[in-house]
Amino acid sequence: MYRLDDLLHLMTRLRDPRHGCPWDLQQSYASIVPHTIEEAYEVADAIERSDFEHLPGELGDLLFQVVYYSQLAREEGRFDFAAVVDGITRKLIRRHPHVFPDGDLYGAPDQPKLDEAAIRQRWEEIKAEERAEKAAAPEQLSLLDDVPQALPALSRSVKLQKRAARVGFDWPEALVVVDKLREELDELLEAMSGNDPQAIADELGDVLFAATNLARHLAVDPEAALRGANGRFEWRFRFIEQALRADGRSPEGCTLDELEALWAEAKRAERGESGCA
């Protein structure tokens, strides 16, 4: 069975200037980023579908992205894969003093078990210390500093809201957020009546942000919820296409009322209900 050292050797061979793969030799940090994002989503998709048969392969594809970046950095004399492993190991030891009280990875696990609230509080204190260490200007340090700009917008909204909630800047319950969502919808309608494209975009953004906030209060991952909605839409639309194809027709030749009727039939089929009334 191949091991991690074999994968690192493979990466070196792929990037060999004389005998490597032409495609791999053309790649840069920036060109690999879309592949990294795609591979991360494929891991999430496999887990969501409980496809554990293919999960090792998807995880391998994601691991390869880390190996790729590390190889590029090694060629430039910046760092290597060993530095990546060392960095994450040191960080996790530091963030888990309740597991590694003396900072020794292989020390005896004889520390008394802490309650979850104490662990969470210490975790946040350590992350705050790390943010302060990274800050170029400590006087401008913000609780939001290390929320990555490149995160998908829904995921970043959740992180921003969670950070603000730590200092009490949050709605007390989900029903209050529902009222806020209605308020944002009213403001969107007002912007639409004024036919101002920028105002419409701004207000629609506020609607989405409020919907994300509602998802957080309901303990629902909005990214996963939207993926689920996408999947249901796809299944229902394919149902419509197949039903029409069986009848020798196509969506283009149907009225909206006909398509809506088929959509309702697809929803009944999805729930396993009979189409007979």
> What percent of the chain shows pLDDT beyond 90?
70
Q: What residues contact residue 162 under an 8 Å CB cut-off, 6+ apart?
A: 216
pLDDT at 277 over 50: no
Measure the CA angle with vertex 76, ends 75 and 82; round to 5°.
Answer: 65
- Find the mean pLDDT for residues 56-73: 98
Could you tell me the pTM of the whole model?
A: 0.63
CB 43 within 8 A of CB 59: yes
pLDDT at 276 over 50: no
- Find the mean pLDDT for residues 22-34: 95
Measure the CA angle with vertex 274, ends 269 and 275; round to 5°.
Answer: 80
pLDDT at 118 over 80: no
Eight-state DSSP code of residue 149: T
pLDDT at 218: 97
Q: What residues contact residue 213 under an 8 Å CB cut-off, 6+ apart?
A: 157, 161, 171, 177, 180
Rounded alpha-carbon distances, angstroms, from residue 229 to 176, 233, 257, 266, 267: 24, 6, 22, 14, 12
- Say how many C-beta atoms besides its own lie within 10 A of residue 92's C-beta: 12
The average confidence (pLDDT) of the chain is: 90
Nearest to 191 by CA among 211, 209, 206: 206
Which residues in 45-79 are b (16+ Cβ under 10 Å) and which e? ebeeeeeeeebeebeebbebbebbbbbbbbeeeee
pLDDT at 274: 54
- Find the mean pLDDT for residues 71-80: 97
Confidence of residue 202 (pLDDT cuts 50, 70, 90): very high
